[in-house]
Structure 1
Amino acid sequence: MTDESTEDRTELKKGLYLLKIDGGKKASAAGDRALGAYGFVLSDPTGKGMPDGQQGKLLEQPVGDPHSAEYEGLLAGLEFARQRDIQYIAVFSDSRTLVNQVNLLWKSSNHLTEYCSRASDAFAGFKGWQVSWIPRKWNDQADGEVRRAFQDAAGPAEVEHAD
């Protein structure tokens, strides 16, 4: 006899999970490296948030642009999903740069080439994946995680986001 809740959890793991990501850096003079942070929100196939699936983190090294922080959020979110044996994932980002680079529609800038390669390696661990652009206003939960990471570390900050 099969335990129904175990069967339900197994079926859910086969479904398409949703990962919203965001990244930003403290506003600074153009080109200056500054404190960066990322956030992600992982939801199961029913749209319900995963336990501990909302995370934001301050980056240990300053970043030159918000794209680096966005990629860090992507990599952290994918790792979080893989640790939970998720097989199919749809990623949503408000960064056109990240979305188009990961989908091989745009060539990656020199400083983002390694991130793009690491993302490709991370996606290889899934049976199926997609990355799509969403407007910033639809990414408010992941954005909130970025803001919370900055606030927890250094108080309120003006945040610069990727395009």
Structure 2
Amino acid sequence: MRVVVEADGGSRGNPGPAAYGAVVLDSEGPAAQVLAQRAERIGHATNNVAEYRGLIAGLEAAKEIGARHVAVRMDSKLVVEQMSGRWKVKHADMRELASQAAAVSRVFDAVSYTWVPREQNKRADALLNTVLDGAVLDIGKRIDEAPRQRQAPQQQAVQQTLEAVAAQPAASWEPPKSSSTRLILVRHGETEASRVFRQCGRSDLPLTATGMSQARAVARRIGSRDAVAQVYSSPLLRTMQTATAVADALGLPVRTDERLIEMDFGEWEGLTGQEIQARDPELRDQWLSDPTTTAPGGESFAQVAARVGAFVDEVVEKHPGENIVLVSHVTPIKLTLKSALGTGWELLTRLFLDVASLSVVEFAASGRSSVRLVNDISHWQR
């Protein structure tokens, strides 16, 4: 489930009497339906503390209704930039709250943060001012504790959400049925960078001679499988060379999509893990433990997960019951496996993917998924 969280916080005096408001919506825009709301007076605090409390409350509400992808919209530049990893969190109070928000974020497949003008965050702003005024809600109570007649629209929306969840198929040991989309995930063949485990994100390197041989082996392996309807690829050279070998063997064209591209490692491009650790030990540790932390000048795992997840959703919707080849890189493939398994972010550091490896997952439109194969290199391993 994809949701939008609008959150805000404020104090009268900064610091002074403070409150937060948060709204979970099914989409953006004025026609969006409210799925959940939170608002609470939090005593004497600063604007920034209240804003972080609003974010945490909104993320918790999204978690409670089963959201997997969350788009956060706030008019706090500080919170958006800090949670996106572009600004450091210097104040002790902010570090604790940012850590709490990051901890909640890890339950989702992806969380993105967008700054919006205050006039586009009116719902959350109205909630916090309502509890500060004390005109509608009892001071100190959450909005979901307000009198029944004041919550009718919210309760109806939440009830509809619960009914939709209840209508989904129950968990089962059986794999998804034939209407599921089977994704054959292919990592590109060997490059000079992959041979020595250097971070190669946006650098457009070609395959080595060994890498080309691996690509042809992948093509033979996939060509012996069930019929494939389409081959999609990252537009970088190493993936295109691999995808072209596969597509030629299948008699299909290659369709490229930027969302399948590798993570942008920024200033860490071309470095090994050991070199990055020596250069930026604290930042690398935070990057590996917090999915919202970006590589310097690059991307975070959460940002990559958002774009890859959107692409996979589109493919599943467009190709029900079909076999689809996706030729990509380590990070997008790991994130797709993470989504199919429903695991936490720790999978990214615990799963190894070889070059020219095959992994297979299935996604159904109902939301069910299964993993059928991971990191198979039997087609080229000597």
AA aligned opposite 2:107: G
1:87 to 46, 50, 68: 68
5 Å matches for 1:14-93?
Answer: 16-27=2-13, 33-45=15-27, 47-50=32-35, 53-59=36-42, 61-63=43-45, 65-93=46-74
Runs in 1 of length 4+ with deviation above 4 angstroms? none
Q: CA deviation at 1:128?
A: 1.1
Aligned residue for 2:16, secondary structure, equals coil
In structure 2, distance between residues paired with 1:144 and 1:56 = 10
Q: Alpha-carbon deviations, 1:78-102, whole Å to 9, x = none?
A: 1111111111110000000000000
Q: Alpha-carbon deviations, 1:41-65, whole Å to 9, x = none?
A: 1111472111xx2332101x421x2
Query: RMSD value over aligned CA atoms?
Result: 1.7
Aligned residue for 2:3, secondary structure, equals strand
AA aligned opposite 1:41: V
Asked if 1 retains the 8 angstrom alpha-carbon contact of 2:4 and 2:73, the reply is yes
In structure 1, distance between residues paired with 2:65 and 2:24 = 11
AA aligned opposite 1:139: N
Does 1:117 find its partner at 2:103?
no
Q: CA deviation at 1:27?
A: 2.2
TM-score (norm 2): 0.33
Aligned residue for 1:98, secondary structure, equals helix
In structure 1, distance between residues paired with 2:71 and 2:133 = 28
AA aligned opposite 1:49: V
Asked if 1 retains the 8 angstrom alpha-carbon contact of 2:37 and 2:61, the reply is no
Aligned residue for 2:97, secondary structure, equals helix
5 Å matches for 1:151-162?
Answer: 151-152=133-134, 153=139
Partner of 1:98: 79
In structure 2, distance between residues paired with 1:128 and 1:67 = 24
In structure 2, distance between residues paired with 1:70 and 1:128 = 21
In structure 1, distance between residues paired with 2:51 and 2:21 = 8
AA aligned opposite 1:27: G
TM-score (norm 1): 0.76
Aligned residue for 1:85, secondary structure, equals coil
Structure with the larger RCO, 1 or 2 (CA within 8 Å, 6+ apart) = 1
Which structure 2 segments of 5+ residues have no match?
A: 141-382
Structure whose alpha-carbon radius of gyration is higher: 2
Which structure 1 segments of 5+ residues have no match?
A: 1-12, 155-163
In structure 1, distance between residues paired with 2:19 and 2:90 = 20
Q: CA deviation at 1:117?
A: 1.1
AA aligned opposite 2:54: G
Partner of 1:5: none
Partner of 1:9: none
Count residues in correspondence. 132
Partner of 1:149: 131
